[in-house]
Amino acid sequence: MSIAVIFDMDGTLFDTEAVFQKYWNAIAKERGIVLPDAFKYEICGTSGEVMNRIIEKHYRVKDGTEIQRECKQRVAKELSRGVPLKPGCREILASLHARGIPMAIGSSGPRAQIESNLSVSGLTSYFSAIASGDEVLHGKPAPDIFLLAAKRLGVPPADCCVFEDSPNGIRAAHAAGMKPILIPDLMPVTEEIASLTVGVYKVLTDALEELVAGD
């Protein structure tokens, strides 16, 4: 097993990608825009200026900052009332924690939202470090978020396993020299993305069985 495990948040630990898509589409509708299916594939796993460029293209605006902020505010309000978990979330965290495996969150989301989601879901104590999209210059698919998470854990990148649901997240983990594990959510699994992983699993606990084999 790797010395440390880094988890993406939205779509990997928390079943929140659908919440984001609901508000992306609501904001678009308010502006008389119908977003194509391609939008969710492009926006998933991004942050900062990369996200802004995607927003600007699909919403036909010069600056995506305000739309990005508005969507995140609406999502934050909904998630403050409860955060839906992905299947196997509590089980994999408890099992890794019991084995003494250090864990971090490496998410494109803002740090305040990460901390809120962990608090609302009661999962804060499992994580030794957090690396967020608003703490790095380049968001996923650049490796910056995961490299920061490894640095904060005090573990070499090569000794880190990364759980992700999005192609951009898998690309980021691979670029960081880590071991990417894909748990698909909204995005289809392509041959290209599968080739960058050490495994593709339906749910988190399926991957856990592989991680702890031979322990």
Active site residues: 8, 10
**Residue 104: DSSP 8-state:** E
H-run or E-run covering 131: strand 129-132
Spatial distance between the Cα atoms of 175 and 209, rounded to a whole number of angstroms: 25
**Structural contact between residues 133 and 113, judged by C-beta atoms closer than 8 angstroms:** no
Sequence-ordered alpha helix ranges (H) in 31-121: 37-43, 48-59, 65-79, 89-98, 111-121
Q: How many residues does the chain have?
A: 215
CA 214-14-102 angle, to 5 degrees, is 40
**Amino acid making up residue 175:** A
Question: Max Cα separation, the chain?
Answer: 56
